[in-house]
Chains A and B, each alone.
Chain A
Amino acid sequence: MPAAKLPEAAGTIGRRQFVQGVTAVLTGVLGALNPLASLLPSRAWAVDLHALSADHSATLLAMIHTIAPHDGLDEAAYALVVSALDGDAAASEENRTPLLAGVTGLGADFAHDIESVRVQKLQAIEPSPFFQSVRLKTLMVLYSNPIAWAHFGYEGEAFSKGGYLLRGFNDLKWLPEVPTAASGPMPV
Chain B
Amino acid sequence: MSKFGLDDSDVVVIIGSGAGGGTMAHELTRRSLKVVMFEAGRRQTPASFSQNPGEAFGQLTWLEPRSQSGTWDPVKTSPTLPAWHCRTVGGTTVHWTAATPRLRRYEIQARTTYGDVPGTSLADWPIEYEELKRWYLVAEKRMCVTRRNGNPGMPASNNFKIMYNGARRLGYKRVHTNYLAINSRAQDGRGLCIQQGFCVQGCKTAAKWSTLYTEIPRAEATGNLDLRTECFVTRIEHDASGRATGVVYRDADGHEQRQKARFICVAGNAIETARLLLLSESARFPHGLANSSDQVGRNYCHHLTGFIWGVFDQPVHAYRGAVLAGVVEDENIHDPRRGFVGGYHLELVSLDLPTLPLVGLRYGWGREFAATMDNYRNLAGMLINGEDMPRPGNRISLSTTLKDANGLAVAHINCEEHANDIALRSHAQRQGQKIYEAAGAKRTLTSATPPATHQMGTARMSKDPEHGVTTPYGRAHDVPNLFISDGSVQTTAGAANPTLTIVALVLRQADYISREISAGRI
A interface majority secondary structure: loop
**How far, in Å, is A13 (CB) from chain B's closest CB?**
11
| A183-B176 contact in complex given A143-B357, A164-B320, C-beta closer than 8 Å | yes
Interface 1/0s, chain B 471-493, versus A by CB < 8 A? 00000000000000000000000
Contact present for A158 and B196 (CB under 8 Å):
yes
A123, closest chain B residue (CB): B366
| A169-B377 contact in complex given A157-B51, A183-B154, C-beta closer than 8 Å | no
* B300 in the interface (beta carbon within 8 A): no
* B170 in the interface (beta carbon within 8 A): no
From 257 to 296 in chain B, residues with beta carbon under 8 angstroms from any chain A beta carbon are: none
Stretch at the interface among A30-38, A49-57, A103-111, A170-178: A170-178
* A10 in the interface (beta carbon within 8 A): yes
Kindly state the separation between the CA atoms of A66 and B193 in the bound complex, as whole angstroms.
Answer: 41
Kindly state the separation between the CA atoms of A122 and B366 in the bound complex, as whole angstroms.
Answer: 10
Contact present for A172 and B316 (CB under 8 Å):
yes
Stretch at the interface among A39-47, A92-100, A145-153: A145-153
Interface 1/0s, chain A 154-188, versus B by CB < 8 A? 11111110111101111110111110011111110
Contact present for B152 and A184 (CB under 8 Å):
yes
B162, closest chain A residue (CB): A175
A139, closest chain B residue (CB): B357
B147, closest chain A residue (CB): A184
Interface 1/0s, chain B 63-91, versus A by CB < 8 A? 00000000000000000000000000000
* A144 in the interface (beta carbon within 8 A): yes
CB neighbours of B161 from chain A (8 A)? 170, 172, 175, 177-178
CB neighbours of A139 from chain B (8 A)? 357-358
* B314 in the interface (beta carbon within 8 A): yes
* B28 in the interface (beta carbon within 8 A): no
Number of residue pairs across A and B with beta carbons under 8 Å?
A: 156
**How far, in Å, is A148 (CB) from chain B's closest CB?**
7
A70, closest chain B residue (CB): B370
Interface 1/0s, chain B 89-102, versus A by CB < 8 A? 00000000000000
| A170-B51 contact in complex given A155-B319, A165-B195, C-beta closer than 8 Å | no
Counting chain B CB atoms within 10 Å of each CB, the highest count among A68, A158, A171 belongs to A158
* B194 in the interface (beta carbon within 8 A): yes
CB neighbours of A187 from chain B (8 A)? 155, 184-185, 192-193
| A178-B160 contact in complex given A70-B374, A149-B353, A154-B353, C-beta closer than 8 Å | yes
Kindly state the separation between the CA atoms of A83 and B502 in the bound complex, as whole angstroms.
Answer: 45
* A121 in the interface (beta carbon within 8 A): no
The 3 closest A-B pairs by CB, nearest first: A163-B194, A184-B153, A157-B51
Chain A interface residues (CB < 8 Å from chain B): 10, 66-70, 119, 122, 135, 139-140, 143-144, 148-149, 152-160, 162-165, 167-172, 174-178, 181-187
6 contacts between A and B (CB under 8 A): A66-B365, A70-B370, A144-B54, A152-B374, A170-B155, A170-B156
